[in-house]
Amino acid sequence: MFHPTVFDNIKIAFENQLYDYDNLDGILMITDRTDMLNLAVMSREFTLAFKLTDGFKVTSEVVLLSSVKELSDEILETPGSNPGCSLLLRFYMEVTEPPLQCPEVERILAGIWGPELKPEQSLSFRYGGEEQIYNNCIQLTFKRQITEEQMEDIPNLLAHLLQSAEELESV
């Protein structure tokens, strides 16, 4: 009989809450969902992207990752292991004035997540365009593994995620 992994259980917890925010509460719209198994390295990646119902500038994304080691430690019940997965949060938005807007993004996210979770901003643009519009991919990487023990924290984490998306809409 199939026994769901920690990755599966955490993925379902995020899905349930975010789809409830979409279907029941109407505060966001799910825009993309991926659930990938990379057979070359036997890793898993799950992403769920959304936009706030009242927002149009920012796309937010929850990303869960699990490596072959994490999966095998759990399946083989490796002594001393604590199975979990990695969590990333991403925000995508366009900026026209990076020297002004990027520090503002950092200030907003530091105010919500604290100084220990430093955002990484990557800018790109389409060469030859009439306007210089930059695509900003902002990533927050949690430094520790997420385990089933943190599942109770998911509603609070998602509240911070929604607050981040809402405040980034004003940049």
Q: pTM higher than 0.85 for the full model?
A: yes
For 80-125, the DSSP string reads T----BEEEEEEEEEES-HHHHHHHHHHHHHHHH-TTS--EEEEEE
Picking from 82, 90, 66, the residue whose alpha carbon sits closest to that of residue 150 is 82
Per-residue pLDDT tens, the chain, 171 aa: give them: 467 899 999 999 999 999 999 999 999 999 999 999 999 998 999 999 999 999 999 999 999 999 999 888 888 889 988 889 999 999 999 999 999 999 999 999 999 999 989 999 999 998 887 788 999 999 999 999 999 999 999 999 999 999 999 999 999
